[in-house]
Amino acid sequence: MDSNSVHDHVSQPLLIPSEIPPPSITQSFSSNHESNGELERILSDTSVPLLKRFGLATWIEFKLLFFLAAPAVIVYLINYIMSMSTQIFSGHLGNLELAAASLGNTGIQVFAYGLMLGMGSAVETLCGQAYGAQKLEMLGIYLQRSTVLLTLAGVILTVIYAFSKPILIFLGESPRIASAASLFVFGLIPQIFAYAINFPIQKFLQAQSIVAPSAYISTATLFIHILLSWVVVYKIGLGLLGASLVLSFSWWIIVIAQFVYIVKSEKCKRTWRGFTVQAFSGLPEFFKLSAASAVMLCLETWYFQILVLLAGLLPNPEIALDSLSICTTVSGWVFMISVGFNAAASVRVSNELGAKNPKSASFSVLVVTLISFIISAIIALVVLALRDVISYVFTEGEVVAAAVSDLCPLLSLAILLNGIQPVLSGVAVGCGWQTFVAYVNVGCYYGIGIPLGSVLGFYFNFGAKGIWLGMLGGTVLQTIILVWVTFRTDWNKEVEEAAKRLNKWEDKTEPLLKN
């Protein structure tokens, strides 16, 4: 959905009676889609009392969301823990190594992660809708097409990694830290190309509601990663380079294991037909959606990196950075729950739109948003209750503890917003609205949030609290816009748009290499 077409779609309230008849149960092709067809029939059956209808529909939707969101949360948490454990192993080598690993992880690696994950979201839109429409052979083509594009992007990122030292020095880092960080980043180059394959595979599997295998694979890989890190860093003595090479190797374990699952599993026989030359066709159109997805996600990722950067310019940067670091760490852990619901929302909405179930799509949006919001509200209240002690998990400093306590109301607000905003971003991906959301992010984050935060933090001398408050203002505005657009969307038209998108990109071709 582009910015000009949004108004054409914002005309029908949530759960308005649909003009598109619900599918019969004979149209379903899996137990999961039988549930989806059942959900559409329940929502359409006016002979059943409204409260009973909603109760039955909510229970069905809750089960579908739980089995999607829970494994997704595990996968994202383990990805986070793998990077964090690498940083911990590096930190035990010395302060310089800790600074280098932190800079490499939170700076350059996060940039690559956000870009690759964002570009991979195009697969989330197309595979999800194709799976719902039973155009199963297209999923493998979209997977390969995305992998080609992400690999090309990986080549560009490799150049950035190779010149990370002069880039970091240009950005103001000391030559000593920049030199050590560039060594760490050099070992992450293989990880770039693991990203290029992993994210399309991950979205390919999620679109089919196959999420548990990725969770099992990631969990097993985490133990291997920790053991190898200990051996390579401490016993063999490869230091920083060894730590980052092990992280890259661990990501390749995940990629290879997931690909073997796709090739060997009966669940993927109809969606993976082998390698095909069609992966190299239609790349410009596919790139547009991938680029919009990347911009949408990167604008969000960079937004919070800018928060830390601005805090470093305050008169007392150490206290500001320490307190913000603790708050963003807590927020980051909680955010993983929202990311799981983001993935679940994207899969559910795209599947239902592809299956021509507009009521189910709109109802899924309502349920997943409410569940995520309730969980976040509970966590936000817990954080407020523990505001005076939460910092002592990270530090014993009284000054930092007081600063964290002062920031906890904003931390709770951020957690509350994270219960809504990422879920609605997932809905946007499921519908193919990436371009529209990218425009919203530019306006709200960079047109309002950052300038407002800068004014409050520096001009009015509110410090880190002012910067964060202003930037949260941008997030609040963005969330309000997404809520309004999402819950006023004409889902019948979204079904039509999904069908047009799939018909436009549907391809028939013989595979180069069959299973």
Mean pLDDT over 212-220 rounds to: 96
More confident residue, 106 or 512: 106
More confident residue, 23 or 340: 340
Which DSSP category does 315 fall into?
Answer: S
Percent share of the chain, pLDDT over 70:
91
Percent share of the chain, pLDDT over 90:
51
Q: Which of 344, 198, 312, 191 lies closest to 257, judged by CA?
A: 198
| Greatest mean pLDDT range, 299-308, 375-384, 399-408 | 375-384
Residue 273: inside a domain = yes
Rg (CA), the chain: 23
Query: Residue 6: what pLDDT?
Result: 45
Question: Residues 6 or more apart from 372 whose CB is under 8 A from it?
Answer: 337, 338, 341, 419, 420, 422, 423
Q: Is the pLDDT of residue 266 over 50?
A: yes
Burial 368-395 (b: 16+ CB within 10 A, else e): bbebbbebbeebbeebeeebeebbeebe
Provide the β-strand partners of residue 513: 275
Query: Residue 506: what pLDDT?
Result: 61
pLDDT digits (tens, 9 = 90+) for 44-90: 888 889 889 999 999 999 999 999 999 999 998 998 899 888 988 98
Residue 510: inside a domain = no
pLDDT digits (tens, 9 = 90+) for 281-295: 888 888 888 888 888
**Band (308; pLDDT cuts 50, 70, 90):** confident
| Greatest mean pLDDT range, 99-103, 317-321, 448-452 | 448-452
Return phi, psi of residue 10, to 5°.
Answer: -90, 80
pLDDT digits (tens, 9 = 90+) for 176-199: 888 998 999 999 999 999 999 999
Q: Which of 144, 71, 79 lies closest to 105, judged by CA?
A: 79
Which DSSP category does 275 fall into?
Answer: B
Question: Residues 6 or more apart from 187 whose CB is under 8 A from it?
Answer: 240, 241, 242, 243, 244, 245, 247, 248
158 vs 155: CA distance, rounded Å: 5
Question: Residues 6 or more apart from 159 whose CB is under 8 A from it?
Answer: none
pLDDT digits (tens, 9 = 90+) for 342-382: 889 999 999 999 999 999 999 999 999 999 999 999 999 99
User: Which range, of 40-54, 218-232, 261-275, 440-454, averages the lowest pLDDT?
Assistant: 40-54
Query: Residue 172: what pLDDT?
Result: 76
Q: Is the pLDDT of residue 330 over 90?
A: no
Residue 29: inside a domain = no
Residue 117: inside a domain = yes
Mean pLDDT over 121-133 rounds to: 88
382 vs 333: CA distance, rounded Å: 14
Mean pLDDT over 118-135 rounds to: 88
Q: What is the DSSP string of 105-148?
A: IIIIIHHHHHHHHHHHHHHHHHHHHHHHTT-THHHHHHHHHHHH
The CA distances from residue 237 to 60, 88, 90, 242, 323, in Å, are 53, 15, 11, 8, 34
Question: Residues 6 or more apart from 478 whose CB is under 8 A from it?
Answer: 421, 440, 441, 444, 445
204 vs 511: CA distance, rounded Å: 18
Q: Which of 192, 201, 97, 106 lies closest to 147, judged by CA?
A: 201
Give the chain's domain count.
Answer: 1
The CA distances from residue 198 to 153, 205, 218, 252, 383, in Å, are 14, 11, 12, 8, 34
Q: Is the pLDDT of residue 1 over 70?
A: no
Residue 390: inside a domain = yes
Mean pLDDT over 384-396 rounds to: 84
pLDDT digits (tens, 9 = 90+) for 228-237: 999 999 999 9
What is the span of the domain harbouring residue 314?
A: 58-505
Q: Which of 125, 121, 117 lies closest to 79, judged by CA?
A: 117
Provide the β-strand partners of residue 10: 489
Query: Residue 512: what pLDDT?
Result: 39
Mean pLDDT over 207-211 rounds to: 92
- The answer to whether residues 338 and 426 touch, using CB atoms and an 8 Å cutoff, is no
Q: Is the pLDDT of residue 26 over 60?
A: no
More confident residue, 111 or 483: 483
160 vs 426: CA distance, rounded Å: 29
Residue 44: inside a domain = no
- The answer to whether residues 10 and 482 touch, using CB atoms and an 8 Å cutoff, is no
Which DSSP category does 444 fall into?
Answer: I
More confident residue, 416 or 36: 416
Query: Residue 505: what pLDDT?
Result: 63
Q: Is the pLDDT of residue 384 over 50?
A: yes
Q: Is the pLDDT of residue 313 over 50?
A: yes
Which helix (H) or strand (E) element contains residue 513? none
- The answer to whether residues 65 and 368 touch, using CB atoms and an 8 Å cutoff, is yes
Residue 67: inside a domain = yes
Average confidence score pLDDT of the chain:
85
Q: For helices 317-354 and 283-311, give the axis angle rounded to 10 degrees.
A: 150
- The answer to whether residues 353 and 381 touch, using CB atoms and an 8 Å cutoff, is no
Which DSSP category does 462 fall into?
Answer: -
Q: Is the pLDDT of residue 16 over 50?
A: no
Query: Residue 304: what pLDDT?
Result: 75
Q: Is the pLDDT of residue 427 over 70?
A: yes
Q: Which of 483, 371, 355 lies closest to 18, judged by CA?
A: 355
Query: Residue 513: what pLDDT?
Result: 41
Give me the numbers of helices (H) and strands (E) for the chain, helices first please: 20, 0
Q: Is the pLDDT of residue 305 over 70?
A: yes
